[in-house]
Amino acid sequence: MIGDAQTLFWLIAGFTAMILAAGFYCVLATFNLLRVLIGLEILMKGVTLFMIGMGYVSGQPALAQGMVMTMIVIEVVVMVVAAGVVLGVFRLSDSVNIKNIRELKG
């Protein structure tokens, strides 16, 4: 039984690491703010997957589900505010490119 739990842990950790790597790449390799938001969303989904998996492996899935539900609500609020900021930047500069935003003076 312990070997099964370890195998499941490493399987979940491996998939989570791949999702987190894809999210970090998406955030760091682009100058488009919409792609950055998508990368942040991918990162949050990786963390969510890890929390659900660890709740299952540890035998406390109800606790993990409660934490994930709270995290999803917070994630939605953060994404809505960030999308509003991106929309405001687009209205000011007619672009969502980070290089064009640096030219704005406030």
How does pLDDT run across 8-49, given as a tens digit for each residue? 999 999 999 999 999 999 999 999 999 999 999 999 999 999
- One-letter amino acid of 9: F
Task: State the DSSP code for 97.
Answer: B
> What is the pLDDT, as a whole number, of residue 46?
96
Contact 30, 67 (CB under 8 A): no
Q: What is the pLDDT of residue 106?
A: 64
- Report the SS3 class of residue 55: helix
Instruction: Report phi then psi at 32, rounded to 5.
Output: -95, 125
CATH topology of domain 2-101: Helix Hairpins (1.10.287)
